[in-house]
């Protein structure tokens, strides 16, 4: 094993996504580190748990767990304590503090956040909406959407739509082309629901060239021409000014960062949860 390599075990009686997101966020601070992350979801029996922990002991692994089923979390914590393994129990300390402060009794139900409840079906409905009204396929969707995204080609409209749909938000998007007609429905939408996406010309040029190369085509076309890009961005900005909508420059921003700006600025609730 490389001296830089580290083992991490994620153990959950559900899908383990909460612990996985946490470790990935932490590992982002160590881009050169070799880390072996092993996930063990849906652990429901103590025998299974102990066998996983025995293997973790051999690897001297860090343990992150979201075990909530009665007995499993304490068994994991005790094993790690006795065997000098790092153990981070993500859920139980917070649950115990809530119980202490409020007197409410937790259900201790594994996978409670992934049940097929109303929240789940709202998310599926939002994803279907985003697919149906992607790339301006039907302008009628603008009037039903929680958010309408506008932007020239390669400003991350579609991936951002899908990301926001996973937050239970109905999103429609429209690609902006100077020669194309702006649908009448757009002018009927509350400007507070509209987000205009823009980008830096040089970055957009690079993205478009790479896209053409990926398709095996000549990268030097009108699609990647700087004058054309400047004209498209000017057209988009002029429209945003007329609409008086929120404008976000997506250059050097991740989808998550752009989504956070939208959610915070438009004061929309994030209804997405994972455990």
Which CATH number do you get for residue 171? 3.40.50
Cα-based distances in Å from 66 to 69, 159, 166: 9, 29, 22
Q: Which two tokens stand for residue 85?
A: 């393994």
Q: What is the pLDDT of residues 110-138, one digit of tens each?
A: 766 655 577 778 889 999 999 999 999 99
d(Cα 135, Cα 149) in Å, to the nearest integer?
A: 10
The residue among 114, 134, 160 that closes a domain is 114
What is the pLDDT, as a whole number, of residue 4? 54
**How high is the mean pLDDT of the chain?**
91
What's the per-residue H, E or C state across 235-260?
A: HHHHHHHHHCCEEEECCCCCHHHHHH
What is the pLDDT, as a whole number, of residue 275? 36
Domain shared by 48 and 91, yes or no? yes
Inside any domain, residue 270: no
What is the pLDDT, as a whole number, of residue 268? 73
Domain shared by 241 and 202, yes or no? yes
Number of structural domains found in the chain: 2
pLDDT band at 272 (very low <50, low <70, confident <90, very high): very low
Domain shared by 124 and 95, yes or no? no
Domain shared by 163 and 248, yes or no? yes
The residue among 82, 114, 146 that closes a domain is 114
Inside any domain, residue 129: yes
- Specify the CATH number for the domain of residue 24: 3.40.50.2300
Please report, in range form, the residues annotated as the binding site for ADP.
151-158
Domain shared by 106 and 229, yes or no? no
Domain shared by 57 and 134, yes or no? no
The residue among 114, 130, 164 that closes a domain is 114
Q: Which two tokens stand for residue 209?
A: 């060239």
200-228: average pLDDT = 94
Inside any domain, residue 1: no
Domain shared by 157 and 173, yes or no? yes
Domain shared by 142 and 258, yes or no? yes
Domain shared by 54 and 132, yes or no? no
Backbone angle region of 218, left / alpha / beta, with phi > 0 → left and psi within -120 to 50 → alpha: beta
pLDDT band at 221 (very low <50, low <70, confident <90, very high): very high
Q: Residues 148, 174: contact at Cβ < 8 Å?
A: yes
State percent of the chain over pLDDT 70.
93
Q: Classify strands 194-198 and 35-40 as parallel, antiparallel or unpaired.
A: unpaired
Domain range enclosing 94 = 6-114
If you write DSSP's letter for every residue of the chain in order, what string do you get?
Answer: --TT-EEEEEEESS--HHHHHHHHHHHTT-TT--EEEEEE-----HHHHHHHHHHHHHHT-EEEEE--STTHHHHHHHHHHHTT--EEESSHHHHHHHHHHH-PPP---TTGGGSSSHHHHHHHHHHHHHHHTGGGS-GGGGGT-SEEEEESTTS-HHHHHHHHHTTT--EEEEE--TTSPPPGGGGGS-GGGEEEEE--HHHHHHHHHHHHHHTTS-S-SGGG-HHHHHHHHHHHHHHHHHHT-EEEE-TT--HHHHHHHHHHHTT--------
Please report, in range form, the residues annotated as the binding site.
151-158
Domain shared by 124 and 179, yes or no? yes
What is the pLDDT, as a whole number, of residue 270? 44
What is the pLDDT, as a whole number, of residue 273? 31
C-alpha closest to that of 92 among 120, 116, 53, 64: 64
Domain shared by 137 and 261, yes or no? yes
Domain shared by 76 and 209, yes or no? no
Inside any domain, residue 273: no
> Is 60 exceeded by the pLDDT of residue 2?
no
Q: What is the pLDDT of residues 32-68, one digit of tens each?
A: 898 999 999 999 999 999 999 999 999 999 999 999 9
160-185: average pLDDT = 96
62-90: average pLDDT = 94
């Amino acid at each position: 094993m490389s001296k830089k390599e580290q083992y991490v075990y994620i153990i959950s009686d559900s899908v383990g996504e909460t612990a996985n997101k946490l470790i990935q966020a932490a590992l982002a601070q160590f881009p050169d580190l070799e880390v072996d992350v092993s996930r063990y979801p849906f652990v429901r029996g103590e025998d299974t748990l102990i066998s996983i922990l025995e293997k973790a002991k051999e690897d001297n692994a860090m343990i992150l767990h979201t075990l909530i089923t009665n007995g499993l979390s304490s068994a994991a914590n005790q094993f790690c304590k006795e065997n000098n393994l790092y153990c981070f129990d993500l859920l139980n300390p917070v649950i115990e503090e809530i119980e202490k402060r409020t007197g409410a009794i937790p259900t201790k139900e594994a996978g409670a956040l992934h049940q097929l409840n109303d929240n789940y079906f709202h998310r599926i409905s939002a994803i279907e909406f985003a697919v149906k009204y992607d790339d301006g396929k039907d302008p009628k969707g603008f009037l039903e959407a929680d958010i309408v995204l506008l932007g020239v080609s390669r400003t991350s409209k579609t991936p951002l739509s899908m990301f926001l749909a996973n937050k239970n938000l109905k999103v429609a998007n429209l690609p902006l082309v100077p020669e194309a007609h702006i649908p009448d429905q757009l002018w009927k939408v509350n400007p507070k629901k509209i987000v205009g996406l823009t980008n830096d010309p040089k970055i957009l040029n690079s993205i478009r060239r790479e896209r053409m190369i990926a398709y095996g085509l000549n990268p030097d076309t009108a699609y990647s021409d700087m004058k054309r890009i400047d004209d498209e961005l000017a057209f988009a900005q002029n429209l945003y000014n007329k609409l008086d909508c929120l404008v976000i420059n997506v250059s050097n921003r991740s989808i998550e960062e752009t989504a956070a700006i939208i959610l915070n600025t438009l004061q929309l609730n994030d209804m997405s949860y994972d455990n």
